[in-house]
Amino acid sequence: MKNLHATVLRFIKEQSLVMARDRVLVACSGGVDSVALLYFMATHQRELGIEVGAVHIDHMLRGEESVEDGLFVEQLCKTLGVPFFGRNVPVPQLLKEEGGNVQDVCRTGRYALFTELMQGESYNTLATAHHAEDQLETILMQVAKGRKPVGMPVKREMGGGMLIRPFLSVMKESLYAYTVEHQLQYREDPSNESDAYMRNRIRHHLLPFVLEENPAAAKNAVKISGWLQEDEDLLSELAVEQYERIVDFSEEGIVSLEKELFSRIHPALQRRVITLVLRYIYDGESLPVPYNSTLINELLFHVSEQSGNVSISLPRGYQLLREYDQLTFVRDPKQSDEVLRKRLPKRVWTDIGNGLSLFWTDVEDATEALRMDADDIFYVDLPDSAFPLSVRRREEGDRILLPGMSHAKRLSRLFIDEKVPMTERDRLPVIVTAQDRVCAIPGLRYGVAFTRNRTERSNYIVSLRKF
């Protein structure tokens, strides 16, 4: 199609997506979008002055069918005369071992392989086949999740190079027409028809309504998201300027700023300056701070108060102190590194933090006095190899297998579902086995090994006491 040809080449030029001598790796699933992109990039190599290769990732979710997808892409690459790279992500195995969301596991594994391949084969650019409707879907998803509706960037840094989206300005119907014109075959992934995923539900039920109301809505989304991303870049630059102007650092690395200077800058910049401060104080920690709008809003509220002093607890044992007109971010002395991890000795009441103490022993050794002295009691079915138990705070990637669930659940997701305040999430004690597997979050949720009624397999008893 001449229109698609001209539109995409103009878009590539306007957005500076590729430069002469770039080595571009096209992510090709075998579907209509990525087949069209691979064909377009391969047949325009000379015009664009680039080298093109293709990568296909098999997530191993559809057995022989997904294997055939890879063989199809490999054959297409032979026809086009471009290098082919096939890689596998054992998603079923990863889900079994680690749990998690299928789409998240697929995406994480896929992009890890993209990065590895780019670096190993000296490709400096990864091209994906996202189109205009994909951008509109992304914006609608971001709105639904309470995020900034800025969509996907046309290009971004990745794997030491760039990720680009050359088709972001075209509609999917144009891609179908393009494959027909050039007699291109493609594969259909049946999972695209499932309403199990949020993106598919939006695609099947919401997007048709929006496009019926305004056929230009998807292309408008591309333009608006581009403007919003430019605005965001500008605001970020201005925030850095204010951050460097009003934030002070002591020799010990303590961060402080004057409340009056901070209050003079625009609220849009205040939010970003606070974010920059949080990024600074958590740099180098083993766990990144999971801050979001809730925490930012709480900080801004207390900062804007006109009278009195205040102390605000932050994740990872930090505090914001407001004393007179000075704002200071410091470590909470009550949250020293010494209590970040502690073994739980048998038959001893141990302070585990958050106003709780814990005692555990063999079921046969549990006395009636112990039961009377406890605020809560659990019977535990864990092998001897799981002991000694320890208490620590949550760490990135932590999961817990809850009763009635077939896969372990991320603690980050659990805290959201349980509506745990952001400032409390990193203060909650987490009980882990000798293998560092989370088995309980006392006072919140307990894993499958914990029951309130004794069973034949109950070999230990855990008592909790509030103080």
Confidence (pLDDT) at 336: 45
Which amino acid, residue 239?
A: A
Lowest mean pLDDT segment, chosen from 135-144, 320-329, 407-416: 320-329
**CA atoms of 256 and 329, how far apart (whole Å):** 6
Residue 44's pLDDT band (cuts 50, 70, 90): very high
Give the pLDDT score at 289.
44
Q: Which pLDDT value is given to residue 285?
A: 47
- DSSP states of 264-288: HS-HHHHHHHHHHHHHHHTTT-SS-
Question: Which pLDDT score is estimated for 283?
Answer: 64
Tokens 């471009």, residue located: 82
Model confidence at 74: pLDDT above 70: yes
Which residue, 187, 207, 211, is CA-closest to 195? 207
22 band by pLDDT with thresholds 50, 70 and 90: very high
Q: Which amino acid is at 372?
A: M
Mean pLDDT of the region 295-322: 75
- Of 231, 203, 42, the C-alpha closest to 132 is 203
Look at residue 79 in the predicted model and tell me its pLDDT. 96
Q: Which two tokens stand for residue 43?
A: 């047949």
The predicted pLDDT at position 287 comes to 40
- List, in sequence order, every beta strand (DSSP E) within 271-316: 310-314
431 contacts 442 by C-beta, under 8 angstroms:
yes
158 token code pair: 């990745």
Q: What is the mean pLDDT of residues 261-266?
A: 91
| pTM recorded for the entire structure | 0.69
Nearest Cα to 23, choosing from 130, 117, 110, 87? 117
Answer yes or no: are the C-beta atoms of 118 and 161 closer than 8 Å.
yes
| Rounded average pLDDT over 170-192 | 92
* Lowest-confidence segment of 47-51, 89-93, 252-256, 376-380 by average pLDDT: 252-256
Q: How sure is the predictor about 94, in pLDDT bands with cuts at 50, 70 and 90?
A: confident
Q: Examine the pLDDT at 286 and tell me if it is beyond 60.
A: no
pLDDT of 252 over the 70 cut: no
Q: Exposed, middle or buried by CB within 10 Å (0-12, 13-18, 19+), for 336? A: exposed
Q: What is the pLDDT of residue 426?
A: 75
User: Mean pLDDT over residues 112-139, rounded?
Assistant: 94
Give the model's confidence band at 385: pLDDT under 50 very low, under 70 low, under 90 confident, else very high: confident
pLDDT: which is higher, 421 or 306: 421
Q: Is the pLDDT of residue 375 over 80?
A: yes
Region 253-281 average pLDDT? 87
Q: Which ranges of 265-375 would DSSP assign to H, the alpha helix? A: 267-281, 293-304, 368-373
- Provide the angle, in degrees to the nearest 10, between the axes of the packed helices 32-43 and 64-80: 20
pLDDT of 326 reads: 82
pLDDT of 307 reads 65
The H or E element containing residue 442 is none
pLDDT at 397 (0 to 100):
84
d(CA 358, CA 373): 11
Q: pLDDT at position 288, please?
A: 41
Averaged confidence pLDDT in the chain: 87
On the CB side of 83, how many CA atoms lie within 13 Å of its CA? 12
Q: Give, as one character, the DSSP assignment of residue 453.
A: S
DSSP notation for 116-177: HHHHHHT--EEE----HHHHHHHHHHHHHTTS------SEEEETTEEEE-TTTTS-HHHHHH
**pLDDT mean over 56-76:** 93
pLDDT tops 70 at residue 371: no
pLDDT for the residue 339: 45
Please say if the pLDDT value at position 450 is more than 70.
yes
Alpha-carbon distance of 379 to 399, in angstroms, equals 21
pLDDT of residue 338: 43
Region 210-237: mean pLDDT is: 95
